[in-house]
């Protein structure tokens, strides 16, 4: 019987560079499931999820052309903890089902990566074989985000960071750490992990 692929979570706070790390894994031929992008896709195209969102947050949750009304949700949901929790309770099962289908389609791989911003906060790490945390000092993370997202200011970036666990809180929960502080090269760190995962030495 063929071994199932290892399911490895990869996460990191805003500005940590986890997307760059994921691109390196992809270039090595490893499939990466981007939970946040898939959640947005499902909110746009999953009929069941669309109906649930409209039922709970009103028809205004969507624009006439079928696009998600992000402005409406930002004003009416994202600043209300209870409503945000409700929205998450609708999207998480849909993403979970979508992820399982994706895993089934990629059974021939030695390992698969699940990229998600809130792997530890949402308790997703408990369902995975291993986890990778991409870390960077806070000032470097802030600087990266401000360069990447000119529409944000430092206060907004700090507000996002406040909603996420700090690296100090995540490190004890992670199985592997990739340091992305602009002094240590990330490619050798990724290649080392890739070899371990390919040989199933984890």
CATH of the domain at 150: 3.40.50.300
Q: Is 39 a member of any domain? A: no
If one counts the domains in the chain, the total is 2
pLDDT of residue 1 exceeding 60: no
59 in the same domain as 156 = no
146 in the same domain as 194 = yes
Cα(155)–Cα(121) distance, integer angstroms: 22
Q: Is 37 a member of any domain? A: no
Q: Domain range for residue 100?
A: 44-105
Q: Is 18 a member of any domain? A: yes
How do residues 131-182 score in pLDDT, each as one tens digit? 999 999 999 999 999 999 888 899 989 988 888 899 999 999 999 999 999 8
Q: Is 22 a member of any domain? A: yes
Helices 47-57 & 81-105 angle (0-180, nearest 10): 180
Tokens of 152: 């944000």
Q: Is 131 a member of any domain? A: yes
- For 11, the 3-state DSSP assignment is strand
Q: What pLDDT, on the 0 to 100 scale, is given for residue 115? A: 96
The end-to-end CA distance of the chain, in Å, is 20
Q: Is 9 a member of any domain? A: yes
How do residues 64-102 score in pLDDT, each as one tens digit? 999 999 999 988 888 788 998 899 899 989 999 999 999
186 in the same domain as 168 = yes
183 in the same domain as 132 = yes
């Amino acid at each position: 019987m063929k071994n199932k692929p290892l399911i490895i979570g990869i996460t990191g706070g805003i500005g940590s560079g986890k997307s760059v790390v994921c691109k390196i894994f992809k270039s090595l031929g490893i499939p990466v499931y981007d939970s946040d992008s898939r959640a947005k896709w499902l909110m746009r195209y999953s009929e069941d999820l669309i109906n649930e969102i409209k039922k709970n947050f009103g028809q205004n949750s969507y624009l006439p052309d079928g696009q998600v009304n992000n402005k409406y949700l930002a004003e009416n949901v994202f600043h209300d903890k209870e409503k945000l929790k409700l929205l998450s309770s609708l999207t998480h099962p849909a993403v979970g089902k979508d992820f399982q289908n994706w895993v089934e389609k990629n059974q021939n791989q030695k390992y698969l990566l699940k990229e998600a911003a809130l792997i530890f906060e949402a308790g997703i790490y408990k369902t995975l074989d291993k986890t990778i945390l991409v870390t960077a000092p806070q000032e470097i993370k802030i600087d990266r985000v401000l360069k990447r997202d000119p529409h944000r200011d430092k206060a907004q970036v700090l507000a996002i960071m406040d909603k996420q666990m700090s690296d100090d809180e995540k490190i004890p929960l992670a199985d592997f750490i990739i340091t992305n502080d602009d002094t240590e090269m990330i490619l050798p760190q990724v290649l080392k992990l890739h070899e371990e995962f390919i040989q199933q030495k984890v």
